[in-house]
Amino acid sequence: MDPAPRPNALKSMGHRLSLTKLRRALSGRKKKLQEIQEPDEPYQTTPTTTKPEEGQEEEEEEDDDDDMNEGNTVIGLLGGGQLGRMLCEAANPLGIDIAILDEHNAPAKQAHNTNRHVVGSFKDPGRIKELAARSDYLSVEIEHVDTEVLEDIEKNGVPVEINGEIVTHRPPIHPSWRTLRLIQDKYLQKEHFKSSGKTIPIAEQIAIESGDAALDSLKKAGKQFGFPFMLKARKGSYDGRGNFKVDSEDDFAEAIKALGTLPLYAEKWAPFVKELAVMVIRTEDSDGKLKNCVAYPAVETIHEDSICTKVFMPPRDVSEDICDKARKLATEVISTLWGRGVFAVEMFLLEDASLMINEVAPRPHNSGHYTIEAVPYMSQYKAQLHAVLDLPVPDKLIPRVQSSIMLNILGGAKPDSHHHLSGLARSTYDDDMDVYLHLYNKESKPSRKIGHITLTGFCSVQELEAKAKPFIDLVDQIRLDRLEATSETLRPTQETNGSAKPAEKAPVEPATDNHVEAQELSAVAASSDKPLVLVTMGSDSDLPVLKAGLDILKEFNVPYALDITSAHRTPKYMMKVADEAAGKGIKVIIAAAGGAAHLPGMISSETPLPVIGVPVKATHLDGIDSLLSIVQMPRGVPTATVGINNSTNAALLAIRILGAFVPEYQQAMKKYQVDMEEAVIVKGTKLREGGDAAYLAGMKK
């Protein structure tokens, strides 16, 4: 694609006057318009920052006085969340004015006082134009904005009235709307990298047809990529929302149910060993010619429940050589885009030490928060300001500390769940580790990003991690409490006498975001009505198989807890759950797994409780692989094994075990057996008396 056509704008800051100064010039301060124009590009605009007041000419002096940040260059920002807030924090000491388009009192608005903010949605074309009319430049803190209106502003400008005259104003837009539009569609974004002429490795991908053709498309993806593969919404996704991990053909229906109304694409599974990210500053001249791409150090990002929770700089156990390659690759990627600003490049580090691009964010990013303290002379926010305004940026970005860890503060189970953590940050003073707390003044809601903590040190990242352990433990604890609270709301309601009422609905809905695999349904919670049976599975794709067994448990009023404990993807968590189950009052564990079904055996190795394995029929080998994996446990580690997909028998066996000690369960089991016997006797009588033809006809009905 050609570079974006450049706006008819004034050039770099050095040549540029802000709207306020321009207005002053036009209102008789003897400054000739030509002096502030491009010599060969007549600048026909005489913009204003606010609606012109009556009597403006006579009261120009006074009006200027009213102008809070008079003379400052104004960047209009679409979106006023925490990224905008930190941008404002960087802009304040630099004398740069930020006009924010977002809700009243949005986090960014709280951090910057100006009379230029606009109240409204950053998706509303009218409000965006209003913002453009009062800004020298436009930028974004979120990529999901209306690019049509940005394109229109760049091409046609916005009318503004100055001294009674309507003129056209074209604030330069950075990054370019072309970049924003491309990045909004993850599929096209990667197609662009593929055809950019640069060597940019991406996962194989295919577009998924919409409507009835979706199923065939998914089959094609399964054939081409094998399983699992990732089904992704092309647009509008964040924090993993919009991703669905497809483990087998059995998931197709659910995948379509979860995402089918959106334009989709499928991506080959990237078996990464780590996720890395690199922030890049992209500069270009006012003709749209690339000047430079400068990379920050590579960082390691940890995603839990699809949200970035921790960032390590430098990445742990990754060679400098790989980090250098990551930075180089990131600059290559960003050089193919348009406009100025900072960009985040998310990538996968694969087992063979090669890198693969996941996606790009055209703005400051979670993975760059650490730069506020670690690269203080040019944080990602200052870099965004300097790049957008075409102010100088360094040609190398060297951290001023040896290591740094960023921990996101996510809203916990209760509004004050994070207080202990923020309190620890406030009270920790340590010569070997500096602690920086950032709260965004957002209402705490479960999983919401409400702040972050950056820790820096002059030691290795491993040593810093060891020092930071109390912080990391608290962050993990907030998460576990949140997950447990979530699962409690999913658990069947229980009566105080200890028996469970049948739940009104299935205790868990399969997660719509199947990518959120481990622990989302974590349910080994201590509660007053303790579950007696723990039903755990290797993947939420096993849940449909377990449904029959769960129905039996409900029928017998057996309180149970649910969890996902993958033997291969979350082995530590699985062992923890197995280890703690008995102490939490669990009496029997049912564990379901498919394929290389190690879960039941591994759980059995870690608990003294009886474990019943349910072999789940996976994609290949008709479930024989799962069956043999579970049944062939070595001597000493008994694992009861039921038939393939037979969760009914697993539940019945669990109830029989409970019945050995709880008479009520034994009686209920006896009744179940009698009912079953009677049902068969009734059938036999009917068959004997009615004959086979009538019986078969009845069956068809």
**Which residues contact ligand ADP (rule: CB under 6 A)?**
203, 230, 232, 237-240, 243, 267, 269-270, 275, 303, 306, 346, 358-359, 515
Q: Which of Mg ion, ligand ADP, none interacts with 517 (beta carbon under 5 to 8 A by kind)?
A: none
Neighbours of 688 (CB within 10 A): 9
Closest separation in Å from C-beta 211 to ligand ADP:
24
Residue 511 to residue 257: CA distance in whole angstroms: 11
Per-residue tokens: 405: 């860890």
Query: Using an 8 Å Cβ cutoff, are 425 and 437 in contact?
Result: yes
Q: In this complex, which beta carbon is closest to Mg ion, that of residue 170 or of residue 515?
A: 515
Q: In this complex, which beta carbon is closest to ligand ADP, that of residue 349 or of residue 588?
A: 349
**Continuous segment of H or E residues that includes residue 650:** helix 647-659
Closest separation in Å from C-beta 527 to Mg ion:
35
Q: In this complex, which beta carbon is closest to ligand ADP, that of residue 267 or of residue 284?
A: 267
Query: Using an 8 Å Cβ cutoff, are 22 and 28 in contact?
Result: no
Site size toward Mg ion (CB under 5 A) is: 1
Residue 476 to residue 471: CA distance in whole angstroms: 9
Closest separation in Å from C-beta 84 to ligand ADP:
19
Q: In this complex, which beta carbon is closest to Mg ion, that of residue 192 or of residue 491?
A: 192
State which amino acid sits at residue 685. Answer: T
Q: In this complex, which beta carbon is closest to ligand ADP, that of residue 16 or of residue 232?
A: 232
Q: Which of Mg ion, ligand ADP, none interacts with 515 (beta carbon under 5 to 8 A by kind)?
A: ligand ADP
Residue closest to Mg ion when measured from CB atoms? 346
Closest separation in Å from C-beta 267 to ligand ADP:
4
Q: In this complex, which beta carbon is closest to Mg ion, that of residue 146 or of residue 346?
A: 346
Closest separation in Å from C-beta 197 to Mg ion:
25
Closest separation in Å from C-beta 365 to ligand ADP:
10
DSSP 378-445: G-HHHHHHHHHTT----S----SSSEEEEEEEE--SSTTTTHHHHHHHHH--BTTBEEEEEE------
Q: What are the backbone angles phi and psi of residue 223, rounded to the nearest 5°?
A: -65, -45
Residue 647 to residue 550: CA distance in whole angstroms: 8
User: In 3D, which of 519, 538, 523 has the Cα closest to residue 228?
Assistant: 538
Q: What are the backbone angles phi and psi of residue 570, rounded to the nearest 5°?
A: -135, 55
Q: Which residues contact 671 (CB under 8 A, 6 or more apart)?
A: none
Q: Which of ligand ADP, Mg ion, none interacts with 325 (beta carbon under 5 to 8 A by kind)?
A: none
H, E, C per residue of 341-374: EEEEEEEEEECCCCEEEEEEECCCCHHHCCHHHH
Question: Which 3 state secondary structure label does DSSP give 300?
Answer: strand
Closest separation in Å from C-beta 452 to ligand ADP:
17
Q: Which of ligand ADP, Mg ion, none interacts with 237 (beta carbon under 5 to 8 A by kind)?
A: ligand ADP
Closest separation in Å from C-beta 177 to ligand ADP:
20
Closest separation in Å from C-beta 107 to Mg ion:
21
Closest separation in Å from C-beta 346 to Mg ion:
5
The strand pairing partners of 280, in sequence order, are: 295, 343
Residue closest to ligand ADP when measured from CB atoms? 270
DSSP 69-137: TTT--EEEEE--SHHHHHHHHHHGGGT-EEEEEESTT-HHHHT---TT-EES-TT-HHHHHHHHHT-SE
Closest separation in Å from C-beta 306 to Mg ion:
9
Neighbours of 290 (CB within 10 A): 16
Neighbours of 683 (CB within 10 A): 11
Q: In this complex, which beta carbon is closest to Mg ion, that of residue 204 or of residue 488?
A: 204
Q: Which of ligand ADP, Mg ion, none interacts with 13 (beta carbon under 5 to 8 A by kind)?
A: none
User: In 3D, which of 255, 342, 254 has the Cα closest to residue 295?
Assistant: 342
Q: In this complex, which beta carbon is closest to ligand ADP, that of residue 231 or of residue 389?
A: 231
Q: In this complex, which beta carbon is closest to ligand ADP, that of residue 484 or of residue 517?
A: 517
Closest separation in Å from C-beta 178 to Mg ion:
21
Separation in Å, CA 494 to CA 396, 490, 577, 600: 61, 12, 22, 27
Q: In this complex, which beta carbon is closest to ligand ADP, that of residue 235 or of residue 584?
A: 235
Q: Is 477 exposed, middle or buried (0-12, 13-18, 19+ CB in 10 A)?
A: middle
Per-residue tokens: 198: 């640069």
Closest separation in Å from C-beta 143 to Mg ion:
11
Q: Is 27 exposed, middle or buried (0-12, 13-18, 19+ CB in 10 A)?
A: middle
Q: Which of Mg ion, ligand ADP, none interacts with 144 (beta carbon under 5 to 8 A by kind)?
A: none
Residue matched to tokens 């579970």: 630
Q: In this complex, which beta carbon is closest to ligand ADP, that of residue 154 or of residue 305?
A: 305
Q: Which of Mg ion, ligand ADP, none interacts with 239 (beta carbon under 5 to 8 A by kind)?
A: ligand ADP
Q: In this complex, which beta carbon is closest to ligand ADP, that of residue 202 or of residue 590?
A: 202
Q: In this complex, which beta carbon is closest to ligand ADP, that of residue 347 or of residue 588?
A: 347
Residue 73 to residue 132: CA distance in whole angstroms: 13
Q: In this complex, which beta carbon is closest to Mg ion, that of residue 63 or of residue 346?
A: 346
State which of positions 319-358 bind Mg ion (CB under 5 A). 346
Closest separation in Å from C-beta 326 to ligand ADP:
15
Q: Which residues contact 225 (CB under 8 A, 6 or more apart)?
A: 204, 266, 267, 268, 269
Residue 654 to residue 648: CA distance in whole angstroms: 10
Q: Label residue 230 left, alpha or beta by phi (over 0 means left) and psi (-120 to 50 means alpha).
A: beta
Closest separation in Å from C-beta 364 to ligand ADP:
15
Q: In this complex, which beta carbon is closest to ligand ADP, that of residue 237 or of residue 283?
A: 237
User: In 3D, which of 525, 487, 516, 532 has the Cα closest to residue 659?
Assistant: 532
The binding site for Mg ion (CB under 5 A) comprises: 346
